């Protein structure tokens, strides 16, 4: 049986890409805020319905750079149920992560538990819109305002997600995106920071270019994270296909839900009212007693049948050697996150799944 992978990159048309490459070759401008870079920033701002976008070489450096730009220090409250880059960005800034448990209804940081984790050293909250499901941004902002904290959203999963017609990327002080090959929208490797005003955009553009504010002036110890012209061109073409890709994912999600609803011991998320989802992942949660098999037993059975799910997010970030000694990493502090991490499998979910692929996955689980 042919292999079914958990994801598959959204590849632009090779002919159109070649035409753009010829243009780039002719212009001999291959990086440093070139025409394609500027065009992609504009196109993304329009598509995402946000005022400003700054492109990066991946989705990790925008997290690190946002923390730098906002001069975040001390302690930052975050979720252990994410990809490890979220917490690594704090470590790279010498910030102590403080893990807070998640809400079982969404997998996102539980707003009810944030206040108890605030100390005089807390300067910011870094929530994650996990699987692209929007956090409770209003409640998080209310807490941030009450205690004078910044909010940086890791929105790596939330490309194109809207709540009541408004981009989720408008929440907080800044939001970061990843355009890695495995994501809904990709530039092979790439990412972006989304901000709300021109001054912040300017500051970020300095920081991602070594801090250069002009030919001879360096205003900060910046990093190098400029997206090049080749990937920007790829991104322009991929953007034309992303709506269709999201719709294909939506259809797959509908079919999965139809077939798995009522299977004993299998639960999953439904769409949230008023939300435009991007169907970036399709996590299911296995209750071993009811299902008759543990999550890992199912996971390895699927692998034997050449169906590659992924245990996103297992282990929790708080379990990795760098972080497990932190007081907030204690298992008793994070019961919901542990339960989800121990029971989750993300099913194959991408734009190119065929109906036969989907039925194969469903039959295997049933
Ligand atoms: C993918 C991802 C990142 C990192 O993005 P890269 O582009 O791979 O550096 C950060 N946070 C989350 C939640 C992610 O899924």
Instruction: Report the alpha-carbon distance of residue 316 to residue 86 in Å, rounded.
Output: 12
Q: How far is the CA of 281 from the centre of ligand 1 (A)?
A: 14
Q: How far is the CA of 182 from the centre of ligand 1 (A)?
A: 9
Q: How far is the CA of 9 from the centre of ligand 1 (A)?
A: 15
Q: 32: left (phi > 0), else alpha (psi -120 to 50), else beta? A: left
pLDDT tens, residue by residue, 57-78: 999 999 999 999 999 999 999 9
Q: How far is the CA of 156 from the centre of ligand 1 (A)?
A: 6
Please indicate whether residue 127, judged by its CB atom, sits closer than 6 Å to ligand 1: no
**pLDDT band at 325, cuts 50/70/90?**
very high
pLDDT tens, residue by residue, 7-55: 999 999 999 999 999 999 999 999 999 999 999 999 999 999 999 999 9
Please indicate whether residue 157, judged by its CB atom, sits closer than 6 Å to ligand 1: yes
Does residue 160 surpass a pLDDT of 90?
A: yes
Residue-level pLDDT at 166? 97
Please list the residue range(s) of the chain that carry CATH number 3.40.640.10: 14-238
* Predicted TM-score of the model (pTM): 0.98
pLDDT tens, residue by residue, 200-237: 999 999 999 999 999 999 999 999 999 999 999 999 99
Ligand 1, residue 157: give the atom nearest the CA.
15
Alpha-carbon Rg for the chain in angstroms: 21
Q: How far is the CA of 216 from the centre of ligand 1 (A)?
A: 33
Which CATH architecture is the domain 241-365 placed in? Alpha-Beta Complex (3.90)
Q: How far is the CA of 84 from the centre of ligand 1 (A)?
A: 8
* Parallel/antiparallel/unpaired status of strands 150-154 and 174-178: parallel
Please indicate whether residue 239, judged by its CB atom, sits closer than 6 Å to ligand 1: no
* Burial class (CB within 10 angstroms; exposed 0-12, middle 13-18, buried 19+) of 22: exposed
Mutate to test the pocket of ligand 1, among 55, 57, 59, 152 (most ligand atoms within 8 A of CB): 59
Q: CB under 8 Å to 4, separation ≥6 — which residues?
A: 306, 307, 308, 348, 353, 357, 360, 361
Q: How far is the CA of 178 from the centre of ligand 1 (A)?
A: 5
Q: How far is the CA of 85 from the centre of ligand 1 (A)?
A: 6
Q: What is the mean pLDDT of the chain?
A: 97
Please indicate whether residue 191, judged by its CB atom, sits closer than 6 Å to ligand 1: yes
Ligand 1, residue 61: give the atom nearest the CA.
9
Please indicate whether residue 207, judged by its CB atom, sits closer than 6 Å to ligand 1: no
Q: How far is the CA of 181 from the centre of ligand 1 (A)?
A: 10
Please indicate whether residue 85, judged by its CB atom, sits closer than 6 Å to ligand 1: yes
* Parallel/antiparallel/unpaired status of strands 96-99 and 75-78: parallel
Q: CB under 8 Å to 185, separation ≥6 — which residues?
A: 10, 159, 160, 179, 235, 238, 239, 242, 245
CATH topology classification for 14-238: 3.40.640
Average pLDDT over residues 356-362: 97
Ligand 1, residue 180: give the atom nearest the CA.
7
Q: CB under 8 Å to 103, separation ≥6 — which residues?
A: 109, 110, 111, 112, 136, 336
Mutate to test the pocket of ligand 1, among 132, 156, 177, 188 (most ligand atoms within 8 A of CB): 156
Please indicate whether residue 230, judged by its CB atom, sits closer than 6 Å to ligand 1: no
Does residue 1 surpass a pLDDT of 90?
A: no
Please list the residue range(s) of the chain that carry CATH number 3.90.1150.10: 241-365
């Amino acid at each position: 049986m042919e292999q079914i992978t958990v994801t598959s990159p959204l590849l632009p048309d090779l002919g159109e890409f070649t035409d753009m490459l010829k243009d780039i070759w002719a212009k001999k401008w291959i990086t440093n805020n070139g025409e394609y870079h500027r065009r992609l920033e504009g196109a993304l701002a329009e598509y995402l319905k946000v005022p400003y976008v700054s492109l990066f070489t991946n989705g990790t450096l925008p997290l690190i750079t946002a923390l730098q730009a906002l001069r975040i220090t001390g302690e930052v409250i975050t979720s252990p149920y994410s990809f490890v880059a979220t917490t690594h960005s704090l470590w790279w800034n010498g910030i102590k992560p403080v893990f807070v448990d998640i809400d079982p209804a969404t997998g996102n940081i539980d707003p009810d538990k944030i206040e108890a984790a605030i100390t005089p050293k807390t300067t910011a909250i870094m929530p994650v819109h996990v699987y692209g499901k929007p956090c409770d941004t209003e409640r998080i902002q209310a807490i941030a305002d009450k205690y004078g904290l910044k909010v940086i959203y890791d929105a790596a999963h939330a490309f194109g997600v809207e709540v009541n017609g408004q981009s989720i990327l408008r929440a907080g002080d800044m939001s970061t995106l990843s355009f890695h090959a495995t994501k809904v929208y990709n530039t092979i490797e790439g990412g972006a920071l989304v901000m709300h005003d021109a001054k912040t955009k300017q500051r970020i553009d300095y920081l991602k270019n070594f801090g250069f504010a002009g030919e001879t002036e360096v205003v900060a110890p910046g990093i190098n994270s400029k997206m090049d012209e080749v990937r920007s061109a790829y991104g322009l073409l991929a953007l034309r296909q992303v709506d269709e890709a999201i719709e294909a994912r939506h259809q797959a999600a509908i079919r999965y839900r139809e077939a798995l609803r009522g299977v004993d011991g299998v639960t999953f998320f439904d769409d949230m009212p008023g939300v435009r989802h991007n169907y970036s992942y399709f996590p299911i949660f296995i209750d071993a007693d009811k299902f008759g098999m543990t999550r890992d037993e199912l996971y390895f059975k699927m692998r034997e049948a050449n169906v590659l799910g992924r245990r996103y997010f297992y282990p929790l970030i708080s379990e990795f050697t760098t972080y497990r000694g932190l007081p907030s990493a204690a298992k008793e502090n994070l019961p919901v996150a542990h339960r989800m991490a121990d029971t989750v499998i993300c099913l194959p979910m991408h734009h190119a799944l065929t109906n036969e692929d989907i039925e194969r996955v469903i039959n295997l689980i049933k």
